[in-house]
Amino acid sequence: MLRVLRLGAKVERPPDRVDPLRGLARVAAGGDPQAERTLLIELGPSLLRSGRAILGATNPEVEDVLQESMAALLAALPSFRGECTVRHFASRVAIQTALRARRRARLRGRYLAVAADDELNDVASLELSPAEQLEAARRRAALRELLLELPEIHSEVLAMHIVLGFTIEETAAALSVPINTVRSRLRRALASLRDSLQGDPSAFDVLRAKA
């Protein structure tokens, strides 16, 4: 069962923007089939994006994880209290689902290393040289591996902030934890990331050169 909400944790600065999906989510949580479908269609791209970010853009398990995320989201909707936007809530569900899928795949010993190579094709048209693309792919792979090594509370923060580009406030709201908790977790997770990349001298050299 998803541990999407940690009750009792107080969010320091709840989002003050009006969430256009809040009403739809409430109706969907009540089991209205049309609302459920509309919500899934609306949030699907966000779920897909999160899944691809964690698994690799061309990982063949992306579709399964998308469907799993949708089912998990519907199951978790009744527990949604509106601490964050529905989209951020959905992204967190997708991240958890994708991380579980990767852990399962690793346990089965069939993690697909082809993902990184296929991503090279995706970025081939950009301004990076082939060597730079390879280095970027190596760093992404290092972070994805690290997400599996870290405790869940740290990997979630890292995935939301680094991979999906959530701000500290958005991450805190999505996790239903105080902002300072996010900062603390992020600091530890980033230290782990740095250590991990230092274990790969070529990748870290590139980082230092670019920094």
Geometric angle at alpha carbon 148, from 10 and 68, rounded to 5°: 75
- For position 44 contacting other proteins by CB under 8 A, the verdict is yes
Angle between helices 130-149 and 114-122 (to 10 degrees): 140
- The correct pick among 9, 12, 23, 63 for binding other proteins (CB under 8 A) is 63
Closer Cβ to other proteins, 107 or 196, answer by number: 196
- The correct pick among 4, 11, 40, 77 for binding other proteins (CB under 8 A) is 40
Amino acid at 60: P
Residue given tokens 């280095």 in the structure block: 135
Q: Which range in 9-17, 19-27, 69-77, 80-88 contacts other proteins by CB under 8 A?
A: 69-77
- The correct pick among 21, 29, 74, 134 for binding other proteins (CB under 8 A) is 74
Task: State which of positions 159-198 bind other proteins (CB under 8 A).
Answer: 161-163, 165-169, 179-180, 182-183, 186-187, 190-191, 193-194, 197
- The correct pick among 49, 82, 103, 148 for binding other proteins (CB under 8 A) is 49
CA nearest neighbour of 86 among 138, 28, 132: 28
Q: Which range in 15-23, 81-89, 106-114, 132-140 contacts other proteins by CB under 8 A?
A: 132-140
| Contact indicator for 168, 182 with CB cutoff of 8 Å | yes
Residue given tokens 């250590």 in the structure block: 195
CA nearest neighbour of 119 among 73, 56, 169: 56
- For position 117 contacting other proteins by CB under 8 A, the verdict is no
- For position 105 contacting other proteins by CB under 8 A, the verdict is no
CB 100 to other proteins: min, Å: 17
CA nearest neighbour of 157 among 189, 134, 179: 189
